Amino acid sequence: MTAAATAASTAAATAVVNIGSLVTNDPALGDGPLGLLEDAAVVFEGGRVAWVGATGAAPAADAVYDAAGRALLPGFVDSHSHLLFAGDRTGEFAARMSGRRAASYQKRGAGGIRTTVAATRAATDGELAANLARFVREMLRQGTTTLETKSGYGLTAADESRALRVAAERVAGVEEITYLGAHVVAPEYADDPGAYVDLVTGEMLDACAPYARWIDVFCEKGAFDGDQARAVLAAGKARGLTPRVHANQLSYGPGVQLAVELEAASADHLTHLSDADVGALASGSTVATFLPGCEFSTRAVYPDVRRVLDAGATVALSTDCNPGSSFTSSMPFCVAVAVREMGMTPDEAVW
């Protein structure tokens, strides 16, 4: 919640006046897709926007802030992050940047995730909560006021559910919580991935569902194939969780079309998109979520978001903040990379 909105929950009405550029996100209210208003004011009441318009026409308010010509925009929504972890993998980034093929994310992918799994299992609840709270504060300072985070570094029923419990009960400010037991196959099940899927769709789901609204799966070679991903998402749906999918990050695969077919809220990553994938995204309700920090950090080829926008799909941007593939909590950075490298206009990226 912004400072102004916080004040609004105690004062009857709070106004911000002399805003140089106000992003309303409503084309009916102002210019372009962002609905931009210049020399504008906004009034909050009870934590909600009650009025927007020209500064000169602003109604009286109990508290008034002078923006002195600065821009004002709604808080960013970061819809994809992995903040329930312990340990540090910055050395992996350094090794990747040295250009050694063996250090590429493609090669290390699941191996790197298992490094974080070991550190996360060894951490106390207090350590997990402190790490999560640190990232939530860091995000807020950079303008993110709504965020999602997910499990996926525990990979046992107890470790996955306690991570989600930490997010639900010990740290304020995490609005959306996702169960990602199907991140990679737990090391204990390396020889029997089917048994791990049974765990994810059975006992682990039972333990995690009370703390989560969403269920996610990493549908990728080396993680879960299309049939396994379908089983995971179907089990989650049957428990009232809404699917989302890590899709087509490291290679072409069935993830995007599965997400659209199962009416997932989002298909995320989309680094490799076939024409059929783009067509599916354009025809369905699944949001195409791009994660520019991930291509940046793993030196992957940037996807062409223009192609997806022009096809008519709804596009979102998110940080994917995690210790391995995208160690940034900054939405402004992701907006900048999406414009610089992925064919989005500034207005589209901010929206």
**Which residues sit at the interface with ligand NIG, rule CB under 6 A?**
82, 112-113, 116, 218, 246, 249, 294, 320, 322-326
To ligand NIG, the closest distance from the beta carbon of 289 in angstroms equals 10
Q: How far apart are CA 149 and CA 213, in angstroms?
A: 11
With CB under 5 to 8 Å by kind, the binding choice for 178 among ligand NIG, Fe ion, none is none
| β-bridge mates for residue 22, sequence order | 37, 72
With CB under 5 to 8 Å by kind, the binding choice for 292 among Fe ion, ligand NIG, none is none
To ligand NIG, the closest distance from the beta carbon of 88 in angstroms equals 11
Cα first-last separation, the chain: 18
Whether residue 15 contacts residue 63, with contact meaning beta carbons closer than 8 Å, is answered with yes
CB nearer to Fe ion: pick between 148 and 320? 320
The bridge status of strand 144-150 relative to strand 176-182 is parallel
To ligand NIG, the closest distance from the beta carbon of 195 in angstroms equals 21
Helical spans, DSSP H, in the chain: 3-10, 90-97, 105-122, 125-141, 157-165, 193-201, 203-208, 226-238, 255-261, 275-283, 292-298, 305-311, 331-341, 346-350
CB nearer to ligand NIG: pick between 53 and 87? 87
Which residue type, as a one-letter code, is found at position 308? V
To Fe ion, the closest distance from the beta carbon of 81 in angstroms equals 8
CB neighbourhood size of 143 (10 A):
16
Of all residues in this chain, which one has the CB nearest to Fe ion in the complex?
320
The footprint of Fe ion on this chain (CB under 5 A) covers a number of residues equal to 1
To ligand NIG, the closest distance from the beta carbon of 180 in angstroms equals 8
**What is residue 70's DSSP assignment?**
-
- Residue 216 interacts with Fe ion (CB under 5 A): yes or no: no
With CB under 5 to 8 Å by kind, the binding choice for 113 among Fe ion, ligand NIG, none is ligand NIG
CB nearer to ligand NIG: pick between 254 and 323? 323
To Fe ion, the closest distance from the beta carbon of 192 in angstroms equals 25
CB nearer to ligand NIG: pick between 112 and 284? 112
With CB under 5 to 8 Å by kind, the binding choice for 218 among ligand NIG, Fe ion, none is ligand NIG
Considering only residues 284 to 323 of the shown chain, the ones binding Fe ion according to CB under 5 A are 320
To ligand NIG, the closest distance from the beta carbon of 255 in angstroms equals 11
With CB under 5 to 8 Å by kind, the binding choice for 148 among ligand NIG, Fe ion, none is none
CB nearer to ligand NIG: pick between 235 and 294? 294
CB nearer to Fe ion: pick between 38 and 138? 138
CA distances to 7, 101, 143, 240, 241 from 163, in Å = 32, 33, 25, 20, 17
Closest CA to 16 of 56, 57, 55, 74: 55
3-class secondary structure for 195-255? HHHHHHHCHHHHHHHHHCCEEEEEECCCCECHHHHHHHHHHHHHCCCEEEEEECCCCCCCH
Q: Which residues bind Fe ion (CB under 5 A)?
A: 320
